Each structure stands twice: as C-alpha cells, then as structure tokens.
Amino acid sequence: MMNLIDYLPTIPDFPKPGIMFKDISPLLADKDAFSHAMSELHRLSLQTPFDYILGIESRGFIFASALAQISNKGLIMARKPNKLPTETYSEFYGLEYGQDYLEVQQNIIPQKAKILLMDDVLATGGTITAAASLVNKAGAQVAGALVLLEITELLGRKKLSEAHIETQSLIEI
C-alpha cells in the first residue's frame, strides 16, 4: 500500500516564519501517487450524497476538478477576489498565514443543490467555513467537506463541526 504522506514533504517557515507548509507538488508529479490519491478521495466522497463539487482556489481546484470528472459531477469555482466576470457572493476569512476573500458567481449554484466543498489542506478551517457561507448565501446546501490532508493540531475539524459541516480527510497528520 502506497504511503501518500511520503509525497507530501513539509517545508518549514514557508510562506512565513512558523508555518510548516505541506507541499503537494511531489504527489501531483508522481502519476501513481496522484492516481491513488484521487481513487481514495473518490471512495471517501461516495459516503456523502452531493450534486456539485466546489473547488477552492488555487490548490483545491486540482483535486476538485479531478474528482468532478471521476464522479461525473459539475465543478463550481470559489475564487480569490476580482477574478470572476459576473456578480458574486463574497466572504472574508482569516487564514493560518493571512486574510483573504473568496467569491462565487451568483448565477452558478442552483438553489437547494447539495455541494461538496473540496480543498487540498484543512488547517484552521477558516477557508472551508468561508466556502460554506458562500454556498448558504446562494441558497444551496453544504453536503460536506473533503480534503486531501488535515493538520489535526490546528483544530479545523472542530471549527467545521461547530458549523455543522461533515468533514472527511484522506490523510491526517
């Protein structure tokens, strides 16, 4: 059995001192590791009924788009500010290393649709909580959240469970 954690090296003090950055590049560059990760993420996703996958810019897009294709579901983009060409819902959030906005287009999420939120890493949970708020603003439902890697000591799962977001991660560290 392939140990995916071997393909996710830790880069200390990037992008700021004190941050232990998990680099997904080696996993993506290895066809067997990436393929295995996507098969396993697909297996996990089958536990949650959903209509669409929402991918979070930037690294969340990689896994969300691959899973959307495997799952035969549509992909919705949650983007950084001022990237989307039509009216958006917008949500401010705090990060482990900064602050940002996420936006989705107002006309792209069907009301009442069940949306699976997807990102590469769950750290403090601020990003996925913001994505969930965007789904709620659109009048749709959060089916759950799925991530490749969860950094458990940052307690993102607790934050998401307080927001009633069912969370699954493929790898916990």
The yes-or-no answer on residue 157 being catalytic is no
Q: How many residues does the chain have?
A: 173
Q: Pick the closest to residue 97 from 60, 70, 124 (CA basis).
A: 124
Contact positions with ligand AMP (CB under 6 A) in 59-88: 59-60
Residue 130 tokens read as 């913001």
Stretch that binds ligand AMP, among 16-24, 37-45, 80-88, 163-171 (CB under 6 A): 16-24
- Distance, CA of 163 to CA of 115 (rounded, Å): 15
In the complex, what is the shortest distance from the CB of residue 170 to ligand AMP, in angstroms, rounded to a whole number? Answer: 14
- Distance, CA of 24 to CA of 30 (rounded, Å): 10
Which of 65, 124, 136, 168 forms a contact with ligand AMP (CB under 6 A)? Answer: 124
Asked if 157 and 130 touch (Cβ cutoff 8 Å), the reply is no
Nearer to ligand AMP, 59 or 73 (CB): 59
Per-residue string for binding with ligand AMP, 127-166, x by CB under 6 A? x-----------------------x----x----------
Asked if 19 and 4 touch (Cβ cutoff 8 Å), the reply is no
Q: Footprint of ligand AMP on this chain (CB under 6 A)?
A: 19-22, 56, 59-60, 95-96, 119-127, 151, 156
Residues with catalytic function? 59, 96
